[in-house]
């Protein structure tokens, strides 16, 4: 299994336009066909360099090491993802800087503009680049603890059925900055230990730097530890989690996340026993009578199979667009283009112009949002399809994306 950190990702963009890598959420605005090779680097490799900065700093996004030698003007802009909630940011936005380490020299660049969850650099040069808050004096360090971040909660499950038919359910709960590379890294780690992700909406209410959050579950559950510290960056990509253990047969549990000092729910979800025991798998289970595995068909994604019906039948589109914008699946310009259409059919048809080229992992998120806001319609279409349409599928990407 390739690792996100220090694995080369090769992006081949075949035409001018804005392209997003579904592996890391970085976006490139290119003026012609170009292939870009980059790594998601570890900030821990640059600790000494960061410590030489006068004043404090805070890392708020992944670090990208672009390997390709690019000609001038081939990339007109790069969109660097970060987890800072700009709407709640009441400080000086000039604190948001792009860390750029090239030819053994550190340069801090002010973004050309801030857009959603991106710091945009126009006409960039490349090597090692990421987003930080700098400089932070003692007063600003106190203020930053009041600045909201975009957070997400990930749930993973492993269930054991013993010989006496008693169940042991184990959940791993992570509180992370809403950064794609962190999400991918945690998924890979959990898969190594036979834990599978439970597909729940991950986004939280605003979370705050260096604040502790407590996890609540059933009274019969063991929750260890009972609090998690939110950090916008984890050194060495080692992410803390809480384990919720239940040793009895259950039908459903409710898990919540609250600040340690307040009774305000920032995330909540109900999880059924079926979700913990029968998570979707990556490969269709159909075989022929002889058991020849070569006859296993390729799954067609729900979004592709039902394109015409979804365009015709979906009536609630605006909250779906809000979800996709929050998850960085749509840029703000794309969001405005879709929402400007006068009918829901027109909105869905325009939305399909973008999602038809996305990977199945991203299409899963569209499906989940449609299922939340148009539940009856999606359930009706699900009944037309044998098996489980909510499968986790192999990433294909919005353009060719190879990891070595």
Helix 375-382 to helix 360-373 angle, to the nearest 10 degrees?
A: 120
State the DSSP code for 296: P
Query: Which domains does the chain possess?
Result: 8-144 (2.60.220), 150-277 (2.60.40.2660), 293-403 (1.10.533.10)
Instruction: Note the pLDDT of residue 311.
Output: 92
Instruction: Note the pLDDT of residue 138.
Output: 52
Summarised one tens digit per residue, pLDDT across range 271-302 is 998 888 754 433 332 333 333 333 333 457 88
Q: Are 362 and 183 a contacting pair, CB within 8 Å? A: no
Residue with tokens 């003692």: 138
The residue among 153, 165, 278, 160 whose CA lies nearest residue 217 is 153
Local structure of 387: helix, strand or coil: coil
Q: Are 9 and 241 a contacting pair, CB within 8 Å? A: no
Q: How is the chain split among helix, strand and coil, in percent rounded to 5?
A: 25, 35, 40
Torsion on CA atoms 404, 240, 45, 329, rounded to nearest 10: 50
- The secondary element (H helix, E strand) that includes residue 8 is strand 8-13
Summarised one tens digit per residue, pLDDT across range 312-328 is 999 999 989 988 988 88
Q: Which two tokens stand for residue 183?
A: 């999400």
**Interval 39-67 mean pLDDT:** 88
CA 309 to chain centre: 28
What is the DSSP code string of 40-102?
Answer: EE-GGGGHHHHHTSSSEEEEEEEEEEE-----TTSEEEEEEE--B-GGG--S-GGGEEEEEEE
Cα separation, 242 vs 214, in Å, equals 10
Kindly tell me if the per-residue pLDDT of 3 is higher than 80: no
Residue 113 vs residue 89, higher pLDDT: 113
Give every CB contact of residue 108 below 8 A, 6+ residues apart in sequence: 97, 98, 99, 100, 134
Q: What angle do CA 31, 37, 41 make, to 5 degrees?
A: 125
Torsion on CA atoms 123, 181, 140, 112, rounded to nearest 10: 10
264, exposed or middle or buried, with CB in 10 Å at 0-12, 13-18, 19+?
Answer: exposed
Cα separation, 182 vs 3, in Å, equals 11
Report, in angstroms and rounded to the nearest whole number, the Rg of the chain calculated over CA atoms. Answer: 22
**Interval 1-28 mean pLDDT:** 79
Residue with tokens 């592996």: 23
Cα separation, 179 vs 81, in Å, equals 7
* pLDDT band (50, 70, 90) for residue 209: confident
CA dist 62 → 155, 193, 232, 244, 310 (Å): 22, 25, 10, 29, 35
Summarised one tens digit per residue, pLDDT across range 148-166 is 899 999 999 988 776 566 7
Summarised one tens digit per residue, pLDDT across range 187-208 is 988 988 888 899 888 999 999 9
pTM of the model: 0.69
Number of H-type helices and E-type strands within the chain: 11, 23
Question: How many residues are recorded in the chain?
Answer: 404
Cα separation, 262 vs 256, in Å, equals 13
Instruction: Note the pLDDT of residue 333.
Output: 81
Q: Are 128 and 98 a contacting pair, CB within 8 Å? A: no
């Amino acid at each position: 299994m390739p690792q996100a950190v220090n694995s080369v990702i090769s992006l081949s963009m075949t035409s001018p336009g804005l392209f997003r890598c579904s592996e890391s959420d970085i976006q490139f605005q290119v003026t012609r066909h170009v292939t870009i090779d980059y790594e998601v680097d570890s900030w821990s490799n640059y600790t000494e360099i960061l410590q030489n900065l006068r004043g404090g700093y805070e890392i708020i996004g992944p670090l990208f090491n672009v390997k390709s030698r690019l000609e001038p003007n081939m990339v007109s802009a790069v969109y660097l993802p970060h987890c800072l909630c700009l709407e709640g940011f009441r400080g000086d936005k000039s604190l948001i800087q792009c860390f750029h380490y090239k030819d053994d020299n550190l340069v801090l660049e002010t973004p050309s503009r801030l857009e959603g969850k991106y710091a945009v650099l126009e006409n960039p040069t490349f090597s090692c680049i990421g987003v930080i808050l700098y400089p932070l004096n003692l007063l600003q360090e106190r203020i930053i603890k009041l600045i909201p971040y975009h957070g997400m909660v990930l749930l993973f499950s492993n269930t054991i059925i013993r010989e006496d038919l008693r169940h042991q359910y184990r959940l791993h709960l992570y509180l992370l900055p809403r950064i794609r590379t962190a999400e991918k890294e945690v998924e890979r780690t959990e898969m190594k230990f036979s834990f599978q992700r439970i597909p729940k909406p991950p986004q939280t209410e605003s979370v705050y730097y260096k604040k502790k959050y407590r996890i609540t579950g059933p009274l019969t559950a063991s929750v260890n530890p009972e609090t998690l510290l939110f950090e916008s960056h984890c050194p060495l990509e080692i992410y803390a989690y809480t384990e919720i253990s239940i040793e009895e047969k259950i039908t459903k549990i409710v898990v919540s996340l609250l600040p340690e000092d307040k009774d305000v729910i920032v995330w909540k979800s109900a999880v059924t026993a079926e979700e913990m025991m029968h998570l979707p798998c990556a490969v269709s289970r159909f075989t022929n009578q002889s058991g020849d595995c070569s006859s296993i068909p390729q799954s067609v994604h729900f979004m592709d199979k039902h394109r015409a019906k979804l365009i015709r039948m979906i009536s609630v589109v605006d909250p779906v667009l809000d979800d996709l914008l929050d998850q960085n699946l749509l840029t703000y310009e794309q969001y405005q283009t879709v929402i400007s259409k006068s009918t829901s059919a027109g909105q869905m048809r325009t939305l399909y112009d973008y999602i038809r080229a996305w990977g199945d992992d991203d299409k899963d998120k569209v499906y989940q949002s449609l299922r939340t806001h148009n539940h009856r319609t999606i359930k009706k279409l699900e009944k037309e399809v044998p098996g489980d349409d909510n499968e986790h599928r192999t990433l294909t990407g919005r353009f060719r994306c190879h990891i070595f």
